[in-house]
A and B are shown apart, each in its own frame.
Chain A
Amino acid sequence: MAEVRLSNLSKSFGDTDAVDDVTMNIPNGAFVTLLGPTGAGKTTILRLIAGLETPDQGDVQIGGRSVVADTPAQRNVAMVFQQYSLYPHLSVRENLAFPLRSPLLKTPEAEIERKVAEVAEVLRISHKLNNKATALSGGEMQRVSIGRALVREPSIYLMDEPLSSLDAKLRSDLRIELKRIQANLGATLLYVTHDQIEAMTMATHVGVLDHGRLVQFGSPREIYENPVNLYVAGRLGQPRINVLPADMFGGAPTGAKTIGLRPEHIAQGEGKSSEVKRVEHLGDQIRLHLRLDGHDIVTLSENYQTVEPGDTVAIQPRNPLFFDASGARIA
């Protein structure tokens, strides 16, 4: 395991800047997630670290050494692709053993046997080892794909939305499993996702990307509580942050254009009256869709009080976030 440093990394494809001047430090043993919508440059960053793309500018250092001139094999990284990309002509066992048999590792057969069995056990695919890779369900394929990375001890694990193709149950199981494995191995892991729950629950650090630029990098809590701009604020939180004109409740600092209110930033009982449009019972929480001066607001019902559509609820902000006209945070 090793620390990975990206310095001023840039890569463009034609006119598109896929990655734009990204500087990021992935500490040894950290679980870093990259968060952003499709096309934000998440996958390209992984591919630049893996050596599948050459950067236009900047440097990638693994364990303090620049690897830009190295081949993917020389970098000793493991990658789980978004598409399963199991070798279809090989069995599950051969797929798992494939990296161990490489000229890079040249593992003795007995050792291969042991490691494959161990990883298969962890990922609960032991009974499928002799199957052809193509004769598996989607979830099983993706577990084999993760297993093919886990049999190795690379300097960093790169994972490109590895859970996105799985159903909800398997996804949450594997999320816990991955986090546990990472913690046990003390592995450095860079994990790409657009699922904020994955980002929040597994990561020690979150990097938020927008059009190839790294907008903010920090702990999940920091990103959630202290977003640098409106874009970052909007990436995390469920229900999403409510964005309203800054002068709606008064008390806005000068230069503020919008006020950002997460559900917990809305105190109920006093303040401006809003109309309840819709009530959603989600079991563990009750969501209220409110209407105030022509703006929609989503919040959570406090204290499980019974509210009906058409009722009136008084609301006021509590520790809100303020943004200027460009979207940058000012308070």
Chain B
Amino acid sequence: MSSYSITEPSSRQKWVAGSLVIAYAIITLLPLVWILTTGFKSPTDAIAYPPKVVFEPSLEGYVNLFTTRTRVTQEQLEALPPPATWYEEIVRDRDMVIAGPSRYGERFLNSVIIGFGSTFLSVFLGTLAAYAFSRFKVPLKDDLLFFILSTRMMPPIAVAIPIFLMFRTLGLSDTHLGMILLYTAVNISLAVWLLKGFIDEIPREYEEAALIDGYTRFQAFYKVVLPQAATGIASTAIFCLIFSWNEYAFAVLLTSGTAQTAPPFIPTIIGVGGQDWPAVAAGATLFLVPVMVFTILLRKHLLRGITFGAVRK
């Protein structure tokens, strides 16, 4: 007879749980695998039916993503000096020459500036507001908190037109500042509510101890509350970044040139010289990287329990 414990799962329970997790992982990861592999396929392989699981990898999608090309005749091609780089060679195999870089790099950079900029601003303002709501007597506190939450109740597209008109009047259309402000406004409600929950859980005794130990209120906040709120701040930052990184509707409507982010740009690749699925897939793959790196860097903060046990409740 095997021993039985109510806390330790049996091997059968572990097996079931493991299978469920694996099944879920397959379902969620499959589209990512599809995107990743499509990026390395040739245009013909990318649209082959039935889909090719085994294929000859090619960097053509990535080359096309970062370049604009023009078609040339066979005579013109032969008249050119031999290709100097590996990517020129790939392009010439398709009877084309590189005309210049694509706009993907700029759009990607826009996404980084706007995504991280608005995340920083939301978390910064959110932490200060959450601390104030958590610790001080704020007049109409509950109403204010509800108002902040209510900004999330409408779908973004419902307010898109008024925002579009406002931005045009204020000269914020298609600017980095405009997009950062807009995404901050949307994210701040999430940030305030999430962070207030985290800060509420940090006992006041710590700040009181710091106040008596000779620190000012702000120093107590900075030296005692912030380090303990690191977990909450990290997870809030991840949520904010994911939102502003992926946001599509506002970006389509409010940006077209200088401040355009990657999400509205990637679909436009399709139109350039036929349906270039490998280039689209390559753009999407690279677009995933920053959020993944950010999340992996902050993952240790996502584990709770920093304050556990230090204050007797």
Contact = CB atoms under 8 A, between A and B. Distances in A.
B310 A102 contact: no
Given A85-B205, A89-B227, A103 B216 contact: yes
Interface in A85-106: 85-89, 98-99, 102-105
Nearest to A74: B214
Interface string A5-28: 000000000000000000000000
Interface stretch (A75-83, A180-188, A278-286, A290-298): A75-83
A83 B311 contact: yes
A45 to B, nearest CB: 15
B308 A134 contact: yes
Interface string B196-219: 000000010110111111111001
B228 interface: yes
A68 interface: no
Given A52-B212, A99-B213, A87 B311 contact: no
A174 to B, nearest CB: 17
Contacts of B309: 88, 134
A133 B310 CA distance: 7
B307 interface: yes
Contacts of A76: 214
Given A85-B205, A88-B310, A103-B219, A50 B212 contact: yes
Given A85-B203, A134-B308, A79 B212 contact: yes
B228 to A, nearest CB: 6
A138 interface: yes
A256 to B, nearest CB: 45
A133 B307 CA distance: 10
A71 interface: yes
Kindly state the interface size class of chain B when it binds its partner: 20 to 34
B224 A87 contact: yes
Contacts of B215: 73, 102-104
Nearest to A72: B211
A205 interface: no
B211 A99 contact: no
B212 A72 contact: yes
Interface string A55-85: 0000000000000000111001111010111
B300 to A, nearest CB: 14
B312 interface: yes
A98 B210 contact: yes
A89 B312 contact: no
A84 B203 CA distance: 11
A86 B311 CA distance: 8
Nearest to A89: B227
A50 to B, nearest CB: 6
Contacts of B306: 88-89
Interface in B288-313: 306-313
B5 to A, nearest CB: 27
A319 interface: no
Given A83-B312, A85-B209, 5 more contacts: A79-B209, A88-B309, A98-B213, A134-B309, A141-B310
